[in-house]
Structure 1
Amino acid sequence: MLQGKPIKAAVIGPANLVERVASSAREMDDRIVVEFYSYEEEEQILDLYRQASAKNEVVLFTGPLAYFRVQGAFPNWVVPSTYVPYSPDWLYPPLLRLLSRGYDIRKASVDGFGRDAINEVYAEIGFDSRGVLSWTETSDEEELYRLHRQAYESGQACCIVTCIRNIYGKLLRHNIPVEWAVPTNSALRELLKKGILLGEAAREAERQVAVGILEFDDPRQEEELGIPYEYRRERLILAVHQILLGQFERLGAFVTPTRPGSFLFIATRGSLKDFTHSFRSFDLLDILKRKTGVAASVGIGFGSTPWDAGRMAYKALQMARRGGGNCCYLLSEGGELWGPLGSSQALKIDIRVTANQALFRLAEKAGCSPPTLSRVIAALCSLDKSFFTSEDLARLTGVSTRSAQRMLKRLLEAGVVKRAGVEKIISPGRNRSLYTFSREEKEVREVLEG
């Protein structure tokens, strides 16, 4: 890629936030070019991400809800992505607008923010927060709507602040005083700056050296063919070499045999990303198998120097050998591992995560992989509240409530979380169990603080 070419970034979010990011983007320098993808319903988010990631180098989300929904569906991010995290700063504009409209914000009904955040913001603007209703015990949209409306109609609250666009729209249609808490303009500008940094880091990574090692054995038995072994071996090596030259020519890659049954190739990370469809498949394996009968083991390493890339390639090759051949692993010096390519189980793992021994032990107890546990914990930590439900986990990760309940049950049995009571539901139906992290457990503290 050209050094001076602007970063291509996509922004995904509700229409009004996307418009504000567009306004901020016009004030940015020419290092970034932004495409905008707005949604009216949350069900549109995954389709928008598919479109955006196919055409852009970076995807930016205006809030954590959409980000974690995509992460649940696409654990192997196609392109670098980030989001605007919840912040107490979001509270200032809606509260000041309610004040200017003449409402007593000391009797507000607020969702999305913990009691500590509310107390902090109210103290800074000189108001008593003891009468403020804070709904952090649930994230169910319908239940929150009922809680807000009941608080207003009963006189407990005279105005409402919500983080959820649909609730804002419903309350507004019923002429209930409400303001929508959204990221500040400065937070949206920071999002674009993060996009530039992510894009530049991704480009730098694509310029990394890629070293690949391909090994194979003669799959055919000498007695079956009646051809001297030496002749057959040389013809097979020539056939494989010819296929490699034809495939790697379009990458501009260097390829050479190093010993019988082994080839070395050198390219860049960016060219191999295209060749492997963003590190998801390695068609060369099928071509070799079909044309020569060879089941090859391939290890590819990425590094800032040929030496570092070569070391990673040998480690990746060992993993491919242990996988039984006809597969490929890719390993970066930063600890990212992709593989086995050529398998339906191909995935990306950050082996720096598995190096966290506390996380590894907790994942083993919970019966899940360390990356999965890491994603679940990150999603729950983004809630800005001490307690959470299975509905919270389902909403953030995009899985069904039943799947989220199963995961929380496993975390409960592993000691990662513990029960913290029951959330009483005003509407008909069963009450929901509340959970919190078992911070008294040393391993849980290490993971949360690490």
Structure 2
Amino acid sequence: MAALHGPAPEDVTIGVIGADKFVHRIAAVAREETRTPHRLLTAVYERESDAREKAMRIVGDVDVLLFAGPLPYDVAMSGGPLPVPATFVPTGGVALPTALLRGSLSGTVDPARVSIDSALERDVRETYAELGVDMRHVHVMEYHESVAPEQFLAFHRDLFHAGRTSGAITTVPSVAAALADAEIPSLTMAPAAISLRNALRTARLLGSGARLEDSRIAIVIARLPASALPHRTSSSNYWYQELKLSLHRALLHDARRMDAAVLQRDEHSYLVITTMGSLRSGTDDLTRAPFLASVRDALGIDAEVGIGLGRTTLEAEENAQSAVNLAVESGGDLAYLVGPQGSPIALPASHDGEAPEPAPVADRQNDTLREIITLLDGQGDEGRVVDAERVSQLQGVTLRTARRTLRSLVDAGLAWPMPPARVQKVGRPPVRYQLLDERLTG
């Protein structure tokens, strides 16, 4: 175990759990952060099955746990709830094309004849289409909660020995080691630096939220930039009044997803008042800024957005003001979050820096909601509040699929995320969703 200390002793401490190479990479990325240094405590395992044991050794000294990927995270969670929030570095992104390029340049594997684990088949298909490479002889095994490293190993080994592949691409270090022992050509698909930075940011925010167990007030200030203001503001500036109304509508659109209230603060800005749990639900676990992308898409301007957390509304608003001042300096590309400890954290408009397209209410999502409602009614449950575990049981799907289903319903305006219930239980409470069957069309 090793510790990396930032300058502020009260800062969030992130426990990093993974193989040796991963731990060294994420430590190097953390050292590059000069504006908001990270404080890390690391624990190295040789096999993913040891993830929970390693996590429990350091859990008393950290505010949040960050695992090397979904596999060690699920291994750790399978033993029961952890005492602190936990997250993991996601697979995919730019890691796959990078691995394919490495394989092609080094001659280790033929990208057109390869087996790939952990990645979503859809992502692989899109990557190959963009590269213009035929993937008829590419084999993919997606990750889900019940997959063990041995199954990935057997998947790669059987295809290679059958002469159907030139080698393997894996995200699991223990599988890579076993493939090397079996003399099967392979590459490790390691997360890109940007994925590591985003994962550190998410972990830090989750740790910060855990520290605010009894202080879950979150206030967002959304302000029109100075460049959009008229030289002389008055009620006769009709276009400016229209601009403010448009900003208000754009804020309301996203605020619904966070069960938040939108209030006019002054002539140029609005307050959005919500809870930390609802803010997480509406921003993909605080991996992107609220409102920036939707305001840019609706109004064609970059709003100034700052988020404040606090034990009181006054403290939260003061921190939001500090955060929005930082956003002004960034030129509108980022929003900032400031908590009681005063350490600012920058949030991008979206995961890839581009405003997401608004999701239409599709027939498929209407059908999905109808199916869930029918299943609830069939069990005598007239309530319309569910979480991912309930949907998983009703539809007979994995928790991950259930979470995707609920997020798609939210995007379609057919469900609302609700503030987490306050329960005396270790770990984060599940996110509950209000199903809006009155909005069904057709």
TM range (shorter): 0.3 to 0.5
Structure with greater helix percent: 1
From the CA coordinates, give the structure whose radius of gyration is larger: 1
Q: Normalising by the residue count of structure 2, what TM-score does the alignment of the two structures yield?
A: 0.48
Q: Normalising by the residue count of structure 1, what TM-score does the alignment of the two structures yield?
A: 0.47
